[in-house]
Amino acid sequence: MNLTQEDWWKKLQEDDNAVILDVRTEDEWNDGIIPNAINIDIYKGQGFIYQVEELDKSKNYYVYCKAGGRSAQACSIMNQMGFETTYNLMGGFSEWDGPVDMPK
């Protein structure tokens, strides 16, 4: 499901079962992240699939990339893999004006 930044963040704040998934490249990840995100680069192709398979399908996934395209694709792939709840951040990190952390 595609959500505006405001709706995505509001829903995330109220969700005790949330996982934030960043599907950008490592270089993009190093520019800053939405706090508590995990990174699985969608450009890794089959590697992305393998890593996503290890995730808990009972969680709700809040997915973002740089502009919203790759994360929409990731949500679609995840839904096909049996993940019931994925939320795509429209506009992505490039339009994000919420909190930002630097990855450790």
Give the residue numbers marked as catalytic.
65
Report how far apart the first and last C-alpha atoms of the chain are (Å, whole number): 30
Strands of 1-104, DSSP E: 2-3, 18-22, 38-39, 60-64, 86-89
- H-run or E-run covering 103: none
The amino acid at 36: N
Q: CA–CA separation, 87 vs 44, rounded Å?
A: 21
